């Protein structure tokens, strides 16, 4: 009597067919590609959130500088258009520094001669990255100043 080799299975055994394995690999591949696509999108959103967080920090520093000066000095500086420079981390620097990343031009947003006393509306145009300046964000805000 001849015995069957151990690798020959019976019909209805607990093994997978080639078609089932190919379908399973296809489903897993589809899921992994979808997850990778979401990771790319998520990383872009994180980068954008980081940029806006730094812009918020830069804007806060500019408003602090404006509010720390007397009204007449702030108005003259804003009327002439004052430029401020910041590093990629949002720290103040000068225009010639190699680490300058953001450039902010502060101008008077309401140069009307009938403006309210001690109320100054400023426009801060922040451009980045230096020197190409491919992105711009404009912030207009009002500040009430007392001498």
pLDDT tens digits, 70-90: 777 776 776 678 888 988 888
Average pLDDT, the chain: 80
pLDDT, position 52: 86
- How do the domains of the chain map onto residue ranges? 18-144
Lowest mean pLDDT among 6-10, 52-56, 94-98, 100-104: 6-10
The structure's pTM equals 0.65
Q: What local confidence, expressed as pLDDT, does residue 95 receive?
A: 79
Spatial distance between the Cα atoms of 134 and 2, rounded to a whole number of angstroms: 80
């Amino acid at each position: 009597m001849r015995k069957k080799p151990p690798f020959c299975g019976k019909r209805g055994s607990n093994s997978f067919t080639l078609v089932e394995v190919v379908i399973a690999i296809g489903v897993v591949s589809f899921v992994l590609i979808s997850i990778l696509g979401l990771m790319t999108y998520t990383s872009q959103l994180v980068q954008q959130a980081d940029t806006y967080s730094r812009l918020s920090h830069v804007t806060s520093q500019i408003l602090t500088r404006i509010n720390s000066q007397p009204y007449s000095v702030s108005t003259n500086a804003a009327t002439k258009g004052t430029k401020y420079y910041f590093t990629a981390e949002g720290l103040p620097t000068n225009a010639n520094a190699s680490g300058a990343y953001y450039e902010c031009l502060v101008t008077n947003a309401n140069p009307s001669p009938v403006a309210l006393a001690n109320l100054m509306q400023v426009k801060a145009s922040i451009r980045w990255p230096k020197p190409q300046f491919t992105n711009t964000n404009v912030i207009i805000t009002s500040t009430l100043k007392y001498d």
